[in-house]
């Protein structure tokens, strides 16, 4: 979706400010929401693409004025309710009012490392790769209303395939519950001037990781 | 802070149909407001049987004590000392890192990109916050912030200036926008004057930012 989260190339946000000796968490609840996300992911309650799509659907004014982990909390409430794992009434009450659903598995202290190691996104290929390293490609000019990993600044642009990462589950499908729909994934590199015009830094190159459905031969 | 609090209340009210003004009747801070909602989430999900609070404790503890940029620094230092490891790292970083027991288990999809006198690499996630967590720990706030995500792909030299880093004009800047599940680790250039250093000594000068590409390793003169 053409949302506020798709920030690449926007002006006006100011300087990048680094916090010296930044702690892992600034507040206790930040650690809890992160851990909840890991545990629910491990349980198979939802996928990373559902979490991301939920954050992207936050109203822009909320997105811009909430802290990073506040966005996680809001998105988690959305996923919990939308997926029928708890009701709004229960979240309001702060207690379960009905028994839970059965999830795939549960993260316990004994297997906590499994909750910390990312799962593999590789999937069995459905067809041979359409592109090879060195191919010139053009990204499509698409504007889906749902989750996509093709950022606006890189749509309709001419680039070159630099790496092939194999076949991965396709976030655009996963986020809207259409299944893994595996697709080839490539690193596609663009000249800075292709993205930002003739005045761009001539020594700039930018790459994205592009799924095959985003690309056409050029 | 107030804007943040209002926004949070707004969406919570919006989401849950909760009486919006209710939140403002109480004299608790914006943070305790959030804390209450997160506590409610944890309690409900625990009572439903989905999560185990002891496992949550262990995850928080891991991020606070074990998973941090030292993991990445050990990998970089090894690559500086061991040409065969470096070659393996650049060919298949997930596989190469998995051979280092002390770094711990990592998932697939790690790619290491090498800085040279001609090319400087920098990593961003314009859409969200993708970051090689297993190598570098939790992403710092600036990495997830609008200024970095908006500017890194368009004005990386300006971003580097914000970090006090200035590169020669003829150095190519290569920005990697981690839009999929691939995670990128920058292999910075080994600073001059470090000949004969042990891997441990070298790891000390590998900063987190040098592995994101917004900084350089600490110069030996600055370490003592």
pLDDT tens digits for range B39-66? 999 999 999 999 999 999 999 999 999 8
What b/e sequence results for B93-125 when a residue is b if at least 16 CB atoms lie within 10 Å of its CB, and e otherwise? bbebbbeeeebbebbbbbbbbebeeeebbbbbb
Identify the active-site residue in B128, B145, B150, B198. Answer: B128
Indicate which of A70, A99, A213 best probes the interface with B, i.e. most B CBs within 10 Å of its own CB: A70
Q: What is the mean pLDDT of residues A209-214?
A: 98
Q: Where are the domains of chain A?
A: 28-116, 136-217
Within 10 Å of residue B190's Cβ, how many Cβ atoms?
A: 19
Pairing of strands B110-114, B183-187: parallel
The confidence score (pLDDT) of residue B27 equals 47
What is the CB-side half-sphere exposure of residue B44 using CA atoms within 13 A? 26
pTM over 0.80: yes
> What's the token pair of residue A94?
């702060």
Q: Does domain A136-217 have CATH number 3.40.50.300?
A: no
Determine whether the interchain pair A36/B58 forms a contact, defined as Cβ–Cβ distance below 8 Å.
no
Determine whether the interchain pair B180/A52 forms a contact, defined as Cβ–Cβ distance below 8 Å.
no
Is residue B129 part of the annotated active site? The answer reads: yes
Report yes or no: A3 and A143 within 8 Å, Cβ to Cβ: no
**CATH superfamily membership of A28-116:** Nitrile hydratase, beta subunit (1.10.472.20)
Share of chain A above pLDDT 90, in %: 96
Chain A residue closest to B162 (CA)? A16
Q: Which CATH number fits domain B69-222: 3.90.1650.10, 3.20.20.210, 3.90.330.10, 3.40.50.10090?
A: 3.90.330.10
The owner of tokens 């990048």 is: A16
The confidence score (pLDDT) of residue B194 equals 95
- Given a cut of 70, the residues of chain B with pLDDT beneath it are 1-31, 102-105, 221-224
Nearest-CA distance A127 → chain B (Å): 20
Q: How far apart are CA A124 and CA A170, in angstroms?
A: 12
Q: With a threshold of 0.90, tell me whether the complex ipTM lies above it.
A: yes
Three-state DSSP state, B65:
helix
Is residue B81 part of the annotated active site? The answer reads: no
Q: Which residues pair with A163 in a beta bridge?
A: A187
Three-state DSSP state, B120:
strand
The confidence score (pLDDT) of residue A168 equals 97
Using CB atoms, pick whichever of B41, B49, B63 lies closest to residue A24.
B63
Indicate which of B6, B9, B56 best probes the interface with A, i.e. most A CBs within 10 Å of its own CB: B56
Average pLDDT across chain A, whole number? 97
Identify all chain B residues contacting A78, using CB atoms and an 8 Å cutoff: 15
Determine whether the interchain pair A211/B64 forms a contact, defined as Cβ–Cβ distance below 8 Å.
no
Chain B residue closest to A17 (CA)? B142
Q: What is the mean pLDDT of residues A156-170?
A: 98
The CATH 3.90.330.10 portion of chain B extends over: 69-222
Helix axes A68-82, A28-42, angle to 10 degrees: 40
């Amino acid at each position: 979706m053409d949302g506020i989260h798709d920030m690449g190339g926007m002006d006006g946000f100011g300087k990048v400010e680094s916090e010296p000796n930044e702690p892992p968490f600034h507040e206790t609840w930040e650690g809890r929401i992160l851990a909840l996300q890991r545990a629910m992911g491990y349980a198979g309650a939802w996928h990373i693409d559902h979490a991301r799509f939920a954050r992207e659907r936050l109203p822009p004014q909320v997105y811009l004025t909430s802290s990073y982990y506040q966005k996680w909390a809001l998105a988690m409430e959305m996923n919990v309710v939308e997926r029928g794992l708890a009701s709004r009434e229960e979240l309001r009450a702060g207690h379960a009012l009905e028994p839970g659903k059965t999830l795939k598995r549960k993260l316990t202290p004994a297997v906590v490392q499994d909750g910390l190691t990312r799962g593999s996104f590789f999937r069995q290929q459905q067809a041979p790769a359409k592109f090879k390293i060195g191919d010139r490609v053009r990204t499509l000019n698409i504007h889906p209303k749902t989750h996509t990993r093709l950022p606006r600044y890189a749509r309709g642009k001419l680039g070159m395939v630099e790496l092939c990462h194999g076949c991965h589950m396709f976030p655009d499908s996963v986020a809207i519950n259409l299944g893994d729909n595996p697709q080839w994934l490539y690193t596609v590199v663009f000249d800075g001037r292709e993205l930002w015009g003739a005045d761009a830094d001539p020594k700039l190159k930018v790459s994205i990781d592009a799924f095959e459905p985003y690309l056409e031969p050029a | 802070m107030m804007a943040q609090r209002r926004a949070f209340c707004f969406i919570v009210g919006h989401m849950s149909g909760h009486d919006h003004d209710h939140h403002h009747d109480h004299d608790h801070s914006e943070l305790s407001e959030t804390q209450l909602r997160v506590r409610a989430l944890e309690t409900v999900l625990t009572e439903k049987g989905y999560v185990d609070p002891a496992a949550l404790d262990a995850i928080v503890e891991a991020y606070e004590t074990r998973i941090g940029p030292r993991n990445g620094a050990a990998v970089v230092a090894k690559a500086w000392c061991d040409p065969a490891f470096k070659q393996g790292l650049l060919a298949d970083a997930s596989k190469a890192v998995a051979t280092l027991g002390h770094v711990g288990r990592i998932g697939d999809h790690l790619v290491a990109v090498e800085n040279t006198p001609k090319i400087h690499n920098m990593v961003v996630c314009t859409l969200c916050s993708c970051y090689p967590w297993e190598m570098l720990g939790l992403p710092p706030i600036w990495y997830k912030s609008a200024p970095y995500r908006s500017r890194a792909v368009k004005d990386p030299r300006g971003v580097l200036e914000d970090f006090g880093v200035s590169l020669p004009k003829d150095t190519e800047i290569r920005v990697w926008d981690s839009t999929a599940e691939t995670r990128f680790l920058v292999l910075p250039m080994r600073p001059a004057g470090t000949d004969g250093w042990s891997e441990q000594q070298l790891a000390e000068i590998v900063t987190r930012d040098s592995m994101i590409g917004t900084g350089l390793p600490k110069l030996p003169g600055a370490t003592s």
